[in-house]
């Protein structure tokens, strides 16, 4: 999500995108095991991505 109010915040947000490349299938599986599925949050995410 990019919603920076300052150039510094924009830089931080763009740098955070680098973490996406590090999310392997194994890491995703660990996250999925720790965070229970919530249909409502899925709906919100899909709206945000549309």
pLDDT in tens, 8-40: 999 998 898 888 888 899 998 998 899 877 788
Question: What whole-number distance in Å separates Cα of residue 40 and Cα of residue 46?
Answer: 10
In this predicted structure, the answer to whether residue 7 has a pLDDT above a threshold of 90 is: yes
In this predicted structure, the answer to whether residue 1 has a pLDDT above a threshold of 60 is: no
- C-alpha distances in angstroms, 42 versus 34, 38, 47? 16, 6, 9
> Given this model, what pLDDT does residue 48 score?
76
Tokens of 23: 């999310």
> Given this model, what pLDDT does residue 8 score?
94
CB proximity list for 2: less than 8 A, separation 6 or greater: 10, 13, 14
Q: What is the pTM of this model?
A: 0.42
């Amino acid at each position: 999500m990019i919603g920076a109010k300052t150039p510094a915040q924009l830089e931080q947000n763009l740098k955070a995108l680098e973490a996406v490349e590090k999310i392997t299938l194994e890491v995703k599986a660990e996250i999925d095991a720790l965070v229970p599925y919530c249909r409502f949050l899925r709906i919100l995410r899909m709206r945000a991505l549309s």
